[in-house]
Structure 1
């Protein structure tokens, strides 16, 4: 009888430690993002969440430990090399081009993956965005609809509300068709309705397109409501990892800092 071989995680950190002088920002942290899953990373300010994101995306080299993509060591790989392997990310503070419209940002993401030559001919030479191929239009339209950006798709990014800017950044990241997407505080600045719509959209993307998500969030109810697994950091140490139900009932997690948030989440359930 043959035994099915479990697929390796799309992205993993093994024993990652980061020191800044005498400060230990991360201590032997293990995190896995399986294929077609949503994984949450929570913790208070200073817990090491942003540091771990920097290590996973290649912006920061760990003092010790390994980063793997599909079981291949990418610890020394540049952010660009990891992007070519299918890693994309958003940032805590949206990084948009003020003169480009919402739709042009999504087109930019699409062409970074599918038509890099047109980035030069259409943008850098001042020619603007020429008539796009049908596949590009279909993909961009789908993302505009999914993120509810239709009413602002032709508006410049300058002056957009923070919540809308975050949705634009998420749409641009998704336009490169990543295998793994790192989302840094995706719900920050969104109202309750926008947060619910974003959660629904992300679940659909995982189910329909097979992308894997790792999100850092302060919205604990959102994380516990949409994630398959949750990792909890405190002062650079991974104090818990498990299903939302396991995290919700973990005494160490409640004692550390999540008791009130967990009680709020249970009341909303």
Structure 2
């Protein structure tokens, strides 16, 4: 498959007299990881909102698997194969890890059960065999089985982020948008998260676009990196090319990029 899974063309967003994004192009190829970096205020979050359907651009187009989804709602994009996580995990504290993943699986495969087979006092009603097997496979693949029957309340932040990723994957997306997935994690948790993401791309063929302040993580995981500043794309290429780009090195990543050597 040579066509990008997700692409943006000429994305422009204005807030009054301020241009948050100015004609930004971006491609996320199949079965690859693309990093999106830049200083605060560069336009990363605005671009994520446009890609996920939370904001309509003033100009430009968004394509998902070749289809123009610029006017599509977030729900329509989710059904078409787009999933995302958030900087602060949005989980239901009273549900177990397994229940989070099961609910997401039902939303994709048997959405009527979300309404006709709701939570009871004892938790979810008995899952069907296929549903149970698929959920168990996903939990096992992300090494969440030991936590499967724990409520997410009190989970370490790193584990909570993996639960959010598992919930997103249960809907079998073609593209996963990760918003500051390593924020607040310690070194060990960050490395565990990196291993999860490597397996997701390698074993499931999913395309990942990650917004990150952790430049070292981006350069280690990404096949390509896009750098924004003041709403414009100032660099795009492989991690090696980004490391060597004098504009990026001097003005935007500086010492962090040196530390990533």
Q: How does 1:176-191 map onto structure 2 within 5 Å?
A: 176-191=171-186
Query: For 2:9, which of 6, 11, 14 is the aligned residue?
Result: 14
Following TM superposition, by how much is the alpha carbon of 1:104 offset from its aligned partner in structure 2, in angstroms?
0.7
Indicate the SS of the match to 1:76.
coil
Q: How does 1:119-198 map onto structure 2 within 5 Å?
A: 119-123=114-118, 128-198=123-193
- Render the CA deviation track for 1:172-223: whole Å, top value 9, x for unaligned: 0011110001011111222222222222222222122111110111111111
Indicate the SS of the match to 1:113.
helix
TM-score (norm 2): 0.94
Q: Distance in 2 between matches of 1:197 and 1:224?
A: 16
Following TM superposition, by how much is the alpha carbon of 1:125 offset from its aligned partner in structure 2, in angstroms?
6.8
Greater alpha carbon shift after TM alignment, 186-195 vs 170-179: 186-195
Mapped pair 1:241 → 2:241 = no
Query: For 2:34, which of 34, 39, 57 is the aligned residue?
Result: 39
Aligned to 1:205: 200
TM-score (norm 1): 0.92
Contact 1:57 1:82 in 2 (8 A): yes
Detail structure 1 runs of 4+ shifted over 4 Å in the superposition: 124-127
Question: RMSD between aligned alpha carbons?
Answer: 1.6
Contact 1:96 1:169 in 2 (8 A): yes
Query: Aligned pair count?
Result: 261
Q: Distance in 2 between matches of 1:240 and 1:160?
A: 38
Aligned to 2:56: 61
Indicate the SS of the match to 2:61.
strand
